[in-house]
Amino acid sequence: MVTIYQIAQLISTLVNFYETLILVYIILTWFPLREGSFVYDVGMVLRSLCEPFLSLFRRIIPPMGGIDFSPVIAVLALNVIARLVIGILY
């Protein structure tokens, strides 16, 4: 039987995993990637996973001075939503 604690742990783990994916994707965008390489393929997979979520925040917060703050806001929003859902479960 699945307990509420296990569901909360699963939500927390998934949020942490997605935050890690966003962080790795952002770091990969700092480097030029050569098409056909393994790192390029990983970057494209991460782009397909992270970009839809990040684009929601890029529409609201445009880059300022060449710096994109949308990943920071996206991670904060993801944490707030996860805490709300976990709070509702308890």
Among 53, 42, 69, smallest CA distance to 19 is for 53
Among 55, 34, 53, smallest CA distance to 44 is for 34
**How high is the pLDDT of residue 47?**
96
d(CA 56, CA 83) in angstroms, rounded, equals 20
pLDDT tens for the chain, 90 residues: list them: 889 999 999 999 999 999 999 999 999 999 888 999 999 999 999 999 999 999 999 998 888 888 889 999 999 999 999 999 999 988
**How high is the pLDDT of residue 62?**
82
Domain count, the chain: 1
What does pTM read for this prediction?
0.87
**How high is the pLDDT of residue 74?**
95
Task: Compute CA 46 distance to the chain's CA centroid, rounded to the nearest angstrom.
Answer: 9
Q: Which residue has the tokens 């300022």?
A: 64
Q: Which residues form the domain of 56?
A: 4-89
